[in-house]
């Protein structure tokens, strides 16, 4: 894949350009991510904050994660589509929601976290790194 690649929320009010590949792509199976995605897991692309240029108004929501860290979400103020999550104590690393990319071919999670809460029917692909909780 060639970079940069573009992305946007569902309504197009928030747009962004990702200038370099993600560090890693992970699937989180925790109950909170299941609620967020309304599916078995949520996918995140771990990126450096300086790798993304975002335009448009976003809102923010935060919660305390099981780890004790704060998990903050940035999402479109109009359609509420999540763009990324981050830990405010480490704002240089973001967890981009890669389904918002115009080219989603990079989505291939090689890391699975919080598998202690995963849905029984989902089978993790062979060769993936697996963690019962957050590494």
Structure-block tokens of residue 105: 């071919």
Is 61 inside a domain boundary? yes
Q: Is residue 92 part of a domain?
A: yes
Residue 135 within any structural domain of the chain: no
In a domain, 14, yes or no: yes
Is the pLDDT at 67 greater than 80, yes or no? no
**pLDDT (average), residues 43-69:** 93
Average pLDDT value for residue range 36-48: 94
Residue 33 inside a domain? The answer is yes
Question: Tokens 């990079």, residue?
Answer: 106
Q: What is the CATH number of the domain that holds 88?
A: 2.170.150.70
Mean pLDDT rounded to a whole number for the chain: 94
Lowest-confidence segment of 17-21, 56-60, 106-110 by average pLDDT: 106-110
Domain holding 93, by residue range, is 5-130
What is the Cα–Cα distance from 135 to 129, expressed in whole angstroms?
Answer: 10
Domain count, the chain: 1
Q: What angle do CA 96, 3, 38 make, to 5 degrees?
A: 25
66 pLDDT band, cuts 50/70/90, is: confident
Q: What is the DSSP letter of 126?
A: T
pLDDT digits (tens, 9 = 90+) for 94-125: 999 999 999 999 899 999 999 999 999 999 99
In a domain, residue 118? The reply is: yes
């Amino acid at each position: 894949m060639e970079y940069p690649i573009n992305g946007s929320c569902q309504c197009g009010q928030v747009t962004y350009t990702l200038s370099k590949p993600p560090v890693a792509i992970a699937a989180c199976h925790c109950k909170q991510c299941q609620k967020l995605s309304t599916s078995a897991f949520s996918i995140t692309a771990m990126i450096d904050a300086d790798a993304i240029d975002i335009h448009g108004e976003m809102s923010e929501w935060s919660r305390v994660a099981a780890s004790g860290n704060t998990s903050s979400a940035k999402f479109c103020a109009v359609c509420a589509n999540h763009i990324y999550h981050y830990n405010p104590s480490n704002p240089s690393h973001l967890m981009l929601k890669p389904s918002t990319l115009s080219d989603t071919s990079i989505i291939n999670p090689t890391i699975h976290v919080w598998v202690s809460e995963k849905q029984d029917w989902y089978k993790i692909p062979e060769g993936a790194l697996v963690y019962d909780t957050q590494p």
